Amino acid sequence: MKFTTIIAALAIGAASSLAGAADDTVSMLIKDGLEAGKHTKNTISDDIKLYFGKQRTPAVDRKLWEGSTTQKSMRKSAKEHCETAFVSAILRLQDRARREGGNAVVNIVSGGSNESDTEYTCISGRVTGAVTLRGTVVKLK
């Protein structure tokens, strides 16, 4: 009985370490994600302006909402699922801006700590990719 328990514990441990090993944190270019968003069914539109990291913005009239969204995607390659998840996250932020009456999302950062204005972070696994974007919906002057 003890032997069976040990074998089961080893099998569970091996399976969980293999599952975790499949996830990689990769940096992707924002410009490539935005370009991919021009060729999707639901496209990233220009009515809600997007400002990443510490990019300079026009004067802000008022801050309306601050928060984050995490989106996942299942595609054939890591590049495809990361870009699709990025586009979905941008679309969610733009939808939130419209609901709040904003016209821009500023200070968009990826993964909570990446303040880049050129790259975002994607957690890429064998089957899915996940992108978390945090931003502030504002009304620009």
pLDDT tens figures, 106-127: 999 997 566 789 999 999 988 8
Q: pTM of the predicted model, to two decimals?
A: 0.82
- Residues in the chain where the model's pLDDT stays below 70: 1-22, 112-114
The domains found in the chain, sorted by start residue, are 23-140 (3.30.110.70)
Tens of pLDDT, residue by residue over 55-74, are 999 999 999 999 999 999 99
Closest CA to 122 of 25, 23, 19: 25
Q: Which residues pair with 29 in a beta bridge?
A: 119
Q: Which long-range contacts (CB under 8 A, 24 or more apart) does 70-79 make?
A: 70/130, 70/131, 70/132, 71/130, 71/131, 72/128, 72/129, 72/130, 73/128, 73/129, 73/130, 74/127, 74/128, 75/129, 78/24, 78/26, 78/122, 78/124, 78/129, 79/28
